[in-house]
Amino acid sequence: MGALTLKCVLIVGCPGAGKSTAARALSEITGLPVIHLDRHYWQPGWRMPDGDVWRATVEALAAEPRWIMDGNYSGTLVSRLTQADTLIHLDYPTGLCLWRVLRRTTLGWGRVRADTGQGCPERFNAEFLRFVVNYRRDQRARDMARMADFAGEVHRFTGPTELAAFIARCRTFTAANAAGEFILGAACYEKIAAVEGVELTLAMKQRFRDATKTNASPDEYRNTIIDAHRKP
């Protein structure tokens, strides 16, 4: 993982992929506020908002200077992408997403989730389940096309293990700059070096940058800079 500046992070993917959970995890690391789009979309009784009202709501939310925003809502995806600096796409298999939706519905039956609208208790919804089942066939290609021109940093994960490793690396290598932006990855080598009491050389910085390109664990990342200090 190279240098990554976070101010506006968009998390998208099929329902059930775990977008809201990922948003909360990254918020704990960075302090960026979370915007759960489901909470703003659904009205009491699972009523949908007027289309124009919804688009205006999304534009106002995306205009905020700092956020982690989760939710697909393909109709407003392009407008959100123009405001984001980082895109996290949870491109998970249908079976996993469907299982997670069914599990979430069963365990939360009759209760209102923290990431959805007030007055919207968890329920079984056949139409929603069909959408999850058919997402990759009917919707994924259109979403991919909308994401294709995104100019910011893209992180696409095909399973929970990949996402967990990314979040673990973020938790280990995070620092805020003077502008209040959060820097993840190789740009944090100064922070790690300070913690370890290591004076960095250009060669050591390069070794650390090289290490961040691998799928190493957080401890392996930390050890890289310690080992670099020991090598001539």
Query: CA quadruple 35, 43, 80, 137: dihedral positive or negative?
Result: positive
Q: What is the pTM of this model?
A: 0.77
- The pLDDT value recorded for residue 178 is 42
- The pLDDT value recorded for residue 28 is 87
The pLDDT averaged over each successive group of 10 residues in the chain (232 residues) is 69 96 90 93 95 95 95 93 94 97 94 91 94 96 95 92 85 52 52 56 60 51 55 50
For residue 149, give the 3-state DSSP assignment.
coil
How far apart CA 216 and CA 141 sit, in angstroms, is 31
Question: DSSP characters for 45-85?
Answer: TTBPPPHHHHHHHHHHHHTSSSEEEE---GGGHHHHHTT-S
Cβ neighbours of residue 79 closer than 8 Å, sequence gap 6 or more = 55, 58, 59, 62
- The pLDDT value recorded for residue 167 is 85
